[in-house]
Every structure is written in C-alpha cells, then in structure tokens.
Structure 1
Amino acid sequence: MVARVAGNVLTVLIPAHNEEDALGPTLRALQRQTAAPERVIVVADNCDDGTASVAEDLGAEVMCTVGNTHRKAGALNQALARLEAAPPRFVMVVDADTRLSPRFIETALREVARDPRMGAVSGLFVGEKPSGLLQQFQANEYIRYRTQIESTHRVSVVTGTASVFRYSALRDVAAHRGSDIPGTAGDVYDRSAIIEDSELTLALKSCG
C-alpha cells in the first residue's frame, strides 16, 4: 500500500545526461515506493537522446537545463533554484541508474524527520552482477563501503546515489557559499567540485 503524506513534503530530483536506457527502471522503482513523493522531476541536462520522452511516458516532470556547463552540480543548482517558489520540506537526489528498494523513501523520511538537527539521510547500495572487470571493481568498492558503514555506523559521504535532504539545510549551504564555505554565492552544489556529493557533505557539516 502506498502512503502519500499531505502537503509539499518530498520532491525527487533525478539529474540525467543521456540516460534513456537506465531511466525507466529508476522511475518504476520510485512508483513502487511505500511512501510516494509529491513530485518527481527528471533534470535533463544537455541531452540529445530520448531521456525526456522516457521520463514523460512514465509520469515524471521534465526540467531541461539552460546553458549548463558545470556538469551534475550545475544541473542540480538550476533545479533547486526552481523549487524556491514553492519549496518542499525535503528533497531527494537520485542518480538516473539507481533502483531504490521499496521502503527507502518511507525509512529515509522517518529518520530525517525525527531529529530537527539532521540535514540529510543517505543509504547503502549494492551493484548489479558485474559483466566486466571495471564493474567488478565497482562492486568491490560498494561492498567495502557498506562494510565500513555497518562497522562504524558513520557515513563519510551523503552519496549522490540516493539521499534525502532537509530543504532548509540546503538553503543554509547556499547562503554560506562564497563566504564561509567555497563556491559561488547562492549555489547549493559547488560548481567547481569534481565529486559534488562529497563536497556537499563537507559543506553541510561546516554549516552545522
């Protein structure tokens, strides 16, 4: 049974650059969640394939970036800026090739809502069955990361794979960009960072 929380609680942002092949399973996994988001927005970033069509066919909103030259960070900054007119309480960022387990949103919202000091909630992940050496290395890294978290109960990165953020915490980061923390004033994500989720984690911690 799918539960929908009243009010503008959760908006999902899926940054996607030419992801027509991966996007379908990602959106269908969102449709199977035990807690449904109010909005699912595919952020089509400089796409020249059928990403937007796949998103629309599966009921997602599509936002196309404009003049973005700052990769994923720039795409997400544009999407977050458009949410300011009617901001949700929480924002979830999901990679276009991530398939969430059915209770992910329900669990993440419960955890972030129970403590007003908590800015974000992330999760553990596993890779698909490797089909080559590079995928095997990636799967090994996922296992190592999971083992580390389960043994220490501490997360070093609020991963871009799938994470839920308190919207007010993201606005706090934007307010401190260019002064207390690196980046351009008003940006949530540092557009110069190569690993944007790692940098955002440090920024959130710096803002308390």
Structure 2
Amino acid sequence: MRTITAIVPAHNEEEGLPATLESLARQTVPPDRVLVVDDASTDRTGEVAASHGVTVLRPPRNLGSKAKAQNYALPHCTTDLVLAVDADTVLAPDYLETVLPVFDDPTVSVAAGTVRTRHTRTVWERGRSTEYLFGFHWHRPIQARANSPMVCSGCCSVFRRDDLMSFGGFPERTIVEDMDYTWSQQIAGRRAVYVSDAVALAADPEDLTYLRKQVWRWMAGFCQNVRLHLGSLIRHKPLLALWVHLALLEIITAPLWWATPFVTAATTGQPLAVTFAWWAGAELLLTAPPLIYAAHRRKLPLAGVLLNLPCVYATKTVNLVYAWKALLIELVLVPLHLARGLTVYEKGRADTPRGRTTARTAPVGAG
C-alpha cells in the first residue's frame, strides 16, 4: 500500500484554503499526512490550516515562490508519493484513488489529472473554462497517447518522492516549476502521465488585473523552459519537442490568422462581413467538436459550454499579448544579455477579498 503526503503552499490563502483541505479530507484514498506551508502570510492562513488538524510549517521569512515553499516541506515527507496541491484547488473525492494506480508502473515519475475552473462568474473565468475544456479534451489526450504530455499541472500533481529527491526537489530555476519538472523527467527517460478521469477544480483569475499576472508568468515560464530544455528535448524526447515547436508556431502565426478576414476583405474586395463570417465558421468548426465532446464527457450542459465560447477570445487576446512579450524577452533579449527575464512570482488572484497582494521573488536560471 503506497503512502502519500500532500503539500499545500499557502500565502494569504485564508479564504480558499478551507475548501482545499476539506477536499483532501474527503478523498476516498486520503493522504497519510497533509503539510500546509504558511509562507509568511499576513492573514489567518496558519490558524485556518491548524483548525483542520493538519501540520502547519512556518518558514522564518517569505520564501518567494511556490517551488521554494514546496521544497521547505519536502524534508518532512517520508512517504512513497508526494501530492502538490494549490491552496485554491479542490480535488474531486476520487482524485487520489484515480491517479495512484499509474504508479504501479515503476517508470512513472509524475502524474496529474484534468483541471477545470471552479467558478464561471466573469468573462475571464468563462474564457479560461473554455480553454481548459478544449485543452484537456483535445491537446492533452493526443499528447498522452504519444506518451509525451506538455505539463503535469502544478495545482494537482502527484510525484514519486524518490525521483523528486534525486532531482533536488521542485525546480526553482524557472518561474513555472511544473513544466520544468515534467520536461526534465521525460528527458531523463522517466514518464509523466495524464490521468483524464481524475478531476481538479482550480480558482482562476476573475478580473483582468490578475489574469495578466498569471498569463505573463505562464508564458514567460514556457519560454524559459524552451530556452533551458529545447536542445535536450530534440535529442531525447522528440515528440515532446514537436509539441513545443507547434506551440511556438501557434504563437507566431496567431496574429496572421486573426488578421485573415481583414486582409482577405482588403485584397479581394469582398465585404468584411462575408470574410469574417467565413473566418468565424472555420473557428467554430475547429473549436466546437472538442467542446461538445468535453461537455458530454464531463456531463456539463452543452448550451452553457457553447455560450462561454465567445469569452475565450478575451482570454486568447491576453494570452497572445503576453506570449509575444515572452518570446521577445525570454528567447531574444535574455540570451543577448539585454534583459534578466521574469523573476517575480505573483499570484493570479488577490490575496483576500480586500485585495491585498504580495509579490514573491524567485530565482530564474539564464538557461
């Protein structure tokens, strides 16, 4: 029987933490121990965690990033497996029961399930919900069938502790530790696994201010990992390198695709309404089938899923802006020693309903 420790890094998370800890307590296969790292919170995070009967670890100062907080807890883990779960993520009751069997394969180093949004109240949450449904029911299954997933989501990943310790813990050299570890393990010949039936609900940014912070961190982190790992991926994990190149190609060509109806109207003399209708129809043809499948698979109201579809263009616009910014800074200016790259870890949500937020500083390798 495998043993498992859950690590929950928490910085000013008194509002969302109870739901996370309750979801861990409700697991059909509960973790043997839960460690909450109260990372210099200025609210009641520590007291809330203690009231749930879990072990609370308090570093002497703010550690600066999620990976550092996780590494602070790692010496306290003596179990076979380690579950890293964000303090705003709620796991389905059978999450661990569903994920754990993949570790019967001794080559599996890390595994994670499907991520969905906890809330769909604002245009940004609705857009992110659509992105998740599309990505986890189109891109991720294809990558899984090819045994080369792009990332095991950091909000809900299970790690083989021996591999994690041998690697030196959660990587701190990039701003997104989950992608760094997923790529590193696959380069080393270990397996990363996507478990589609395991579901985690994440609290995503509800306004543009925090969406921008999250997307910038994700895009900069992706490019940092490209800078750090691409050569090794090409040599040791070519299919994963293919997904990375396709992602880069999508970023580069996205402005051309979005400009297509306007360019077509200008060069052919057709009314913009006509060219835009053809463009929108092509978009719908490419996007709708995975969403329809996702609605069926997750037993979601199809009308609600499709009504959220226009919202994804708001989040896609933010994604595109920061993807290009990341390409320029992390893949051009940093190698030329003209910029340092992203080193500040900022959460994608306000700390509390009153809106306090604290930036965390994390070291980022130059690659």
Q: TM-score, normalised by structure 2?
A: 0.48
CA distance in 1 between partners of 2:187 and 2:4 (Å): 24
Map of 1:19 onto structure 2: 13
CA distance in 2 between partners of 1:46 and 1:11 (Å): 22
Report how far residue 151 of structure 1 moved.
4.2
Map of 1:191 onto structure 2: 172
Map of 1:177 onto structure 2: none
Which of 111, 116, 120 is matched with 1:126 structurally? 116
Q: Is the 8 A contact 1:173 1:207 kept in 2?
A: no
Report how far residue 193 of structure 1 moved.
1.2
* Sequence identity (%): 33
CA distance in 1 between partners of 2:130 and 2:123 (Å): 11
Partner SS for 1:99 = strand
Partner SS for 2:136 = helix
Choose between structure 1 and 2: higher helix proportion. 2
Partner SS for 1:143 = helix
Which of 135, 142, 145 is matched with 2:125 structurally? 135
Map of 1:163 onto structure 2: 157
Higher-Rg member (1/2):
2
Q: Which amino acid aligns with 2:182?
A: T
Map of 2:72 onto structure 1: 78
Which of 79, 83, 95 is matched with 2:86 structurally? 95
Q: Is the 8 A contact 2:140 2:149 kept in 1?
A: yes
Map of 2:187 onto structure 1: 206
Report how far residue 128 of structure 1 moved.
2.4
CA distance in 1 between partners of 2:87 and 2:26 (Å): 16
> Greater shift after overlay, 154-163 or 16-25?
154-163
Aligned: 1:41 with 2:31: no
Map of 1:185 onto structure 2: none
Q: Which amino acid aligns with 2:180?
A: E
Q: Is the 8 A contact 1:70 1:192 kept in 2?
A: no
Give unpaired runs (5+ residues) of structure 1: 175-187
Partner SS for 1:13 = strand
Report how far residue 160 of structure 1 moved.
0.9
Q: Which amino acid aligns with 1:102?
A: P
Which of 129, 136, 141 is matched with 1:146 structurally? 136
Aligned: 1:111 with 2:102: yes
Q: Which amino acid aligns with 2:33?
A: R
Give unpaired runs (5+ residues) of structure 2: 190-367
